[in-house]
A and B are shown apart, each in its own frame.
Chain A
C-alpha cells in the first residue's frame, strides 16, 4: 500500500499517477476575485438580521406556548 505522494513504497503506476496529479496541483482552479466580497455581503446581513430572527423565534415560541395554555384551559373547562 502507498504511503503518500512521492513516498518510496508506491508501485510504479502510482508514482506515475502522482506525477500526473502534480500537474493539477501546479495549475489550481482560482476563485473569482469577488468571492470574498460576496461571502462577506451575505455574512453581514445575516449577522445584522440574527437578533431580529432570534426575537421573532422567541415571540413565535411564546405565542405557541400561550395558545397551548389557552387550549388546555378550555379543554379542562
Chain B
C-alpha cells in the first residue's frame, strides 16, 4: 500500500494542502537526487521543476508504482533535461569548505575539515560519471533504492540497471585510483 495514497487522492481532487504535504514529505529525497545529479547549486531549480511537473501531471498518475517512485522518475528526467541544456559542469563543488558538525567532539577541527574535503572530492568524481551511470549509482549506492525501483525511475530494463551499476562502480574505482592519492582501493 502506497503511504502517500490518501494525500495523492486529495491532491488530485484539488486540495493544495495535500500537495504541500507531499512536497514536504519528499523534498529531501528529491533534493538529494537532484543535487547529486546536477550539483548543489542548481538542485533547487531542478527540485522546483520536478515538483511542479508532478503537480500538473498528478491527474495522470496511474498508481502502478508508489508515488515516491513516480516522483523520482520525474526528478530524474528533470535533472537529465537540465544537464542536456547546460554547458559542461564544473568538476568540483564551489561551496566554501566549512567544518562538519561533530556532536561527540571526537574529531579535531582539522579532521572534520579533511573529512568534508574528501567527501566533496568524491562527489566531484561521481559527477564525472555519465548521467546514466551516475543515476544508477546515486539511486542504488547512496539512496538505497531496489533494482526494481531504479528500473522504474530510469525506465530501463532490470538487466540494464545492473549492468550500468557494475560499470559505474568500475569507472568510479578507476577514476579514484587514477586521479587521487589517498583512496585505498584494493585491486
Contacts and interface: CB of A to CB of B under 8 A. Distances in A.
Given A13-B187, A24-B142, A39 B31 contact: no
Instruction: Name A's interface SS.
Output: helix
Interface residues of B, number: 48
Contacts of B118: 23
Interface string B46-74: 01100110011000000000000000000
B140 A5 contact: yes
B165 A2 contact: yes
B176 interface: yes
Q: How large is the interface on A (under 10, 10 to 19, 20 to 34, 35 or more residues)?
A: 20 to 34
A5 B144 contact: yes
A36 B165 contact: no
A42 B47 CA distance: 13
Interface stretch (B1-9, B15-23, B80-88, B103-111): B15-23
Q: Which 6 A-B pairs have the closest CB atoms?
A: A31-B31, A29-B35, A12-B186, A13-B185, A39-B51, A21-B141
Given A1-B166, A36-B20, 4 more contacts: A36-B23, A36-B27, A40-B20, A43-B19
Interface of A: 1-2, 4-5, 12-14, 16-18, 20-21, 23-25, 27-32, 35-36, 38-40, 42-44, 46-47
